[in-house]
Chains A and B, each alone.
Chain A
Amino acid sequence: MLPPFALEEPTSVHEASALLARYGETARLYAGGTELLLAMKEGLLRYERLINIKLIPELAGLALADGALHVGATTTHRGLERSAVVRAHFPALAEMAAHVANVRVREVGTLGGNLCFAEPHADPGTLLLVHDASVALAQQGGARTLALAQFFVGPFEVALADDEILTAIQVPALPAHTAAVYVKYGLLERPSVGVAVAVTALPNQVQAVRVAVGCVSPTPRRLWDVEGLLSSKEVPAVRATLDTAGALAGSAADAVTDLHGSAEYKAYLVGVLLRRAFEQAYQQAIGETPSDAARGRGTA
């Protein structure tokens, strides 16, 4: 049995924020619970109150506005996976969401919950970083927007005030001639290494590359130095630089040796995944290989 707690079910962001302010660390927001309930079952976390936010209409919804994607915080991974809008306009997001954990977790787990729990071994944050995503945060007193890159503070730690709630994730449209790809590797229940790229390219000319690494580092992070190495180059030059870029990415990922592997192994994998992700993204950017999601094909 779970340790006892009481349930609160606010129907507005204001009400939820007021509950957080009132109960402080003895309460926690609860959406899908796929991370939270696990930790509570293991005895690692204890709360006197869970605040169910799934009844707040403002937190739901998935919509495209001016090319940008608005993802309500309580949107599930499956919601993203199966959305025609996301598959058409943000195929990499749909593909990433389709491979989060397993189908049962995807049916219940939310994107907002995933980002807020900030478990390092997770997928969405890494890919959202190369989309320059931002998060909408609200509390009783008002609302603000924060770049996702500033949202992750540390393992299991995000830049939320005590009574603040993540209400939505905003994903701007990628620039023209840009494709994003997320690749990951792992043999345990959670991914061990994740690399995301967004490549802006014309045939034989790479204009810009965005790179993010996740799972390995304490938080998902953009690798600005690596991006500088790969951008504004002709493709043969980029390919010749990929080894160096991979090594730089590996060390910038700040890996430690743990149950997922040695630091050296993980750094090496970052380089491998960077190379693969780049090639896939480049091909998609110049239009040669439409992504599987955009074609509507399922994947193994």
Chain B
Amino acid sequence: MGQVLSIRVIVNGHAHDVLIEPYLTLIELIRDRFGLTGTKKSCDMQVCGACTVLLNGRPVSACTMLAFEARNASLLTIEGMAQGETLHPIQEAFIEHGGLQCGFCTPGMILAAKALLEENPAPTEAEVKHYMRGNLCRCTGYKRILESIMVAARRLAQTHNHGAPEA
């Protein structure tokens, strides 16, 4: 068939021009073409959330999305959360509050949490649980993930209130 699409994707703030097949999946683009392996392929059927990335700020399953859907869009992977050596408050909260053990689900958890807190900066626990329902963890039992997100929410709110730039 040989159809090839030329697309521009802004990945973690950097523009990339790539030639892709229409049937390339987003996770293949991210992991195989861009070499960003923080996004994990786990269930490969969009139920576990390990492949969560943010497309124009919205959480999507990279395993079950076609890569060309990221054209002219802003793509955020876990590699884009930290600024150099400075971790994002969500990452810090996860580390401080034991929101990860093996770490496999963690990139997806953090990105989903970021999307949640941008949409709803002061969620109740019930709202966090509802939003995060599609991100599965086999290690932590979820309690500390919930705590991490609630702490992160408070910290992000404080940062905004004090007018300091968001880390």
Does A45 interact with chain B (Cβ within 8 Å)?
no
Give which listed residue, A7, A38, A108, contacts B60 with CB less than 8 A: A108
Q: For A78, what are the chain B residues with a Cβ–Cβ distance below 8 Å?
A: 58
Does B129 interact with chain A (Cβ within 8 Å)?
yes
Give which listed residue, A37, A41, A299, contacts B130 with CB less than 8 A: A299
| Docked CA distance A41–B153 (Å) | 37
Task: Across the interface, name the chain A residue whose C-beta is closest to B43.
Answer: A189
Does B19 interact with chain A (Cβ within 8 Å)?
no
Does B89 interact with chain A (Cβ within 8 Å)?
no
Give which listed residue, A4, A37, A102, contacts B134 with CB less than 8 A: A102
Contacting pair B126 A103 (CB below 8 A): no
Contacting pair A4 B1 (CB below 8 A): yes
Contacting pair A1 B66 (CB below 8 A): no
Does A191 interact with chain B (Cβ within 8 Å)?
no
Does B157 interact with chain A (Cβ within 8 Å)?
no
Task: Across the interface, name the chain B residue whose C-beta is closest to A98.
Answer: B130
Does A235 interact with chain B (Cβ within 8 Å)?
no
Contact with B along A129-150 (1 / 0, CB 8 A): 0000000000000000000000
Contacting pair A103 B1 (CB below 8 A): no
Contacting pair A33 B59 (CB below 8 A): no
Give which listed residue, A1, A48, A50, A104, contacts B46 with CB less than 8 A: A104
Contacting pair B45 A33 (CB below 8 A): no
Contacting pair B134 A103 (CB below 8 A): yes
Contact with A along B42-82 (1 / 0, CB 8 A): 00111101001000001111001110100000000000000
Give which listed residue, B23, B123, B133, contacts A103 with CB less than 8 A: B133
Q: Give min CB distance, B69 to chain A, whole Å.
A: 8
Q: For A6, what are the chain B residues with a Cβ–Cβ distance below 8 Å?
A: 1, 3, 22
Q: Give min CB distance, A27 to chain B, whole Å.
A: 13
Contact status of A2 and B23, CB under 8 A, knowing A41-B44, A105-B134: yes
| Docked CA distance A107–B131 (Å) | 12
Contact status of A104 and B66, CB under 8 A, knowing A2-B25, A4-B1, A38-B46: no
Q: For B44, what are the chain A residues with a Cβ–Cβ distance below 8 Å?
A: 41
Does B161 interact with chain A (Cβ within 8 Å)?
no
Task: Across the interface, name the chain B residue whose C-beta is closest to A37.
Answer: B64
Task: Across the interface, name the chain A residue whose C-beta is closest to B44.
Answer: A41
| Docked CA distance A146–B113 (Å) | 41
Task: Across the interface, name the chain A residue whose C-beta is closest to B3.
Answer: A6
Q: Give min CB distance, B55 to chain A, whole Å.
A: 8
Q: For A103, what are the chain B residues with a Cβ–Cβ distance below 8 Å?
A: 59, 112, 115, 131, 133-134
Q: Give min CB distance, A183 to chain B, whole Å.
A: 16
Contacting pair A3 B23 (CB below 8 A): yes
Interface residues of A in 244-300 (CB under 8 A from B): 298-300
Q: For B52, what are the chain A residues with a Cβ–Cβ distance below 8 Å?
A: 104
| Docked CA distance A107–B55 (Å) | 10
Q: For B134, what are the chain A residues with a Cβ–Cβ distance below 8 Å?
A: 101-105
Give which listed residue, B22, B28, B112, B131, contacts A50 with CB less than 8 A: B22
- 18 A-B pairs in the complex with CB atoms less than 8 angstroms apart: A1-B25, A2-B25, A6-B1, A6-B3, A7-B5, A37-B66, A38-B45, A38-B46, A41-B45, A78-B58, A101-B47, A102-B134, A103-B59, A103-B131, A105-B61, A107-B59, A107-B60, A300-B127
12 further interface pairs, Cβ-Cβ under 8 Å (given A38-B45, A38-B64, A104-B60): A5-B22, A6-B1, A7-B5, A37-B65, A38-B46, A102-B47, A104-B52, A104-B59, A104-B61, A298-B124, A298-B130, A300-B129
